[in-house]
Amino acid sequence: METSALAEKPVGRHPLEGDDIVAMVNETTTEAESRKRFELHDAYLDIHLLLSGREKQLYAPEPADRKTGLLEDALLKDDIAFYSLPVHYNTLILEPGDYAIYLPGELHCPCCAVEEAEPVRKIVFKILASRIKPKYVIGEKFI
């Protein structure tokens, strides 16, 4: 299915290849980063494709100690854990057509306001990491 066809889909979960590759169509309003939490996943990688609006995303490397800053751990049930703001992080501004890729273990904080809260529409592609054949392995990360 082409991205343009997915962009027209209603908000919700759209399996592309069973549970291995899923497109989540979202409409939300961005918020101040102080109101947001960082998240990470173990089983899936995320590709955030912004369709409309502007969105700030914060990102950071995997925490050395996964217990530090941990607010909520639902990795086994829902493949997500939430963290408080890390000491060091980077900022990415997405405009329509831009995308960001987050590998398993990478902290990210999507849906932050660029300047003021605004509505955004996006697709988050969730891809089971085991479906990706790594080209190179560095430590425990694949690229």
**Which pLDDT belongs to residue 132?**
81
SS3 per-residue string spanning the chain:
CCHHHHHCCCCEEEEEECECEEEEEEEEECECHHHCCEEECCCEEEEEEEEECCEEEEEECCCCCCCCCEEEEEHHHHCEEEECCCCCCEEEEECCCCEEEECCCCEEEEEECCCCCCEEEEEEEEEEHHHCCCCCEECCEEC
Taking every pair of Cα atoms in the chain, the longest distance, rounded to a whole number of angstroms, is 41
Q: Is the pLDDT of residue 78 over 60?
A: yes
User: Would you place residue 61 in the very low, low, confident or very high pLDDT band (cuts 50, 70, 90)?
Assistant: confident
**Which pLDDT belongs to residue 90?**
96
Q: Is the pLDDT of residue 135 over 70?
A: no
Quick check: pTM over 0.85? yes
Classify residue 6 by burial, with Cβ atoms within 10 Å: 0-12, 13-18, 19+. middle
- The rounded percent of the chain whose pLDDT value lies above 90 is 76
**Which pLDDT belongs to residue 60?**
92
Taken in order 47, 39, 92, 8, the sign of the CA dihedral is positive
How far, in Å, CA of 81 to CA of 56, rounded?
20
User: Would you place residue 3 in the very low, low, confident or very high pLDDT band (cuts 50, 70, 90)?
Assistant: low
* pLDDT tens digits, 14-44: 999 999 999 999 999 999 999 999 999 999 9
